[in-house]
Amino acid sequence: MHPLLLVPLLFLPRALSQLTPALNEPPDNTLYLGAWLDTSTDTPTSFNARLGQSAPWFQFAQNIPLDPLDPDTGEGGIVNASQVWETGTDAGVYVTVYPAQGFGAITDQDVRAPNYVLAGRGVFLRFAPEMNGNWDVWGIQPTAFKAAWTQMHSIVKLSCPSCALVWSPNASPGYPYSITPDMVSNATDRAALDTDGDGAYTSADDAYAPYYPGDALVDWTGVSYYYKGVYPNSYNVAPGQGTVEAALTGYAQPGLEQEEAVQYTPFYQTYCLTKPCMFSESGAAWHWNSTSPPATYVPPTHTEVEQAWWRDGLTNTSLLTAYPRLKLLMIFEWQKVETDGGISTLRDFRITNDSQVLEAFKQDLQGVQGRYVWATEGLTQQVPAQVPMPMPVPARATPYRMPVGTSASLFWN
């Protein structure tokens, strides 16, 4: 075990046990396991059946302003999480909101659009995630992001004070993700991102601070974090020990991915001690059309890749104990084509699809079964009572994130 693993315990606030629980926060020494499913081919009920457990959270996404609903394909419109109610559990809904036309396209009316909040159900709302990256239209704009967040917070909290707002950048390992100052058009933003003032963006710059809207405007914090192998991420490599922890400490150990250890911006110590935190989306990639690795390299099996990932995180008792403020682990149950360095591969992040991978995961999950809080079963499949309220109508549709085949209103209308 790397010595950094134990550091967080030494710096926990003295009154940590006396902190007021945040919205949707599970009891001390427990956490949630949630899933983001490709609902064009999967359902929460099927996921629960495969896993043999009832997940307490399911994630969906939508754009703001709303895309027109295509009645034939079900794409666009407002996310449909009626499948969550069909599980017959009290599972909550996690909605990721994409400002797909940029922050300038969001009006107060978009945020105030008439909606319904489902009474008796938990809600997470993750707005403009991975804003510290340059792969989305809302990225690397800290000034506009914080202004939009403040606008969204003021409106949502008036109409839905029980909605938990999740601030969720991309994890720092790899920062600044090839971003250079000339890519940032706004001079104020350009200077803000150069946190050490050396005129360049490097791993020494703070990957998070320029985007943080402040404790008063955030309920939970989180990061996106994926393992995809060795750049250009085109063949299968099992993640090494400490890979998952690096998202929390920022400490990336040497290995196949890099020759020397690098210290990126720590997340846990700054953003998790007074707020519960999460992996907002995460997983390890299995490349189905893997390119040829080095001649002397012996590739791992599908199970070995995924098992190395979850044993380093989801079922790692040492990590879960050392980071008690880590309260939700959201797995990305999708496969999608991605391209790095001009090479495209079909990457499968699922751990409940392949029977051998699934059985290995279920077996390892037994060792930490008591740490996870699962959804309560035996509820009726009817949608809970609806309370009309003005609520934001969030998110973004992309070929690889937006659940396809959704049409009916969930808790927005």
Positions marked active-site: 130, 281
Among the listed residues 7, 8, 29, 6, the one whose alpha carbon sits nearest the alpha carbon of residue 17:
29
The span from the CA of 244 to the CA of 283, in Å, is 10
- The token pair at 197 is 């003032």
Q: What is the DSSP string of 86-154?
A: TTTB--EEEEEEE-TT-GGG--HHHHH-EEEEETT--EEEEESTTTTSSSSTTTT-HHHHHHHHHHHHH
- Tell me, what amino acid is at 87? T
The span from the CA of 194 to the CA of 209, in Å, is 11
Contact by Cβ (8 Å): 181, 190: yes
The span from the CA of 57 to the CA of 109, in Å, is 28
Q: Residues for the chain: how many in total?
A: 413
Contact by Cβ (8 Å): 256, 201: no
Strand partners, 338: 345
Give 177's contacts (C-beta < 8 A, 6+ positions apart): 133, 134, 170
The span from the CA of 35 to the CA of 92, in Å, is 11
Contact by Cβ (8 Å): 215, 275: yes
With H, G, I as helix, E, B as strand and everything else as coil, classify residue 22.
Answer: coil
Crossing angle between the packed helical segments 355-365 and 302-312, to the nearest 10 degrees: 20
- DSSP class of 326: E
- The token pair at 145 is 């992001």
Strand partners, 223: 279
Contact by Cβ (8 Å): 313, 255: no
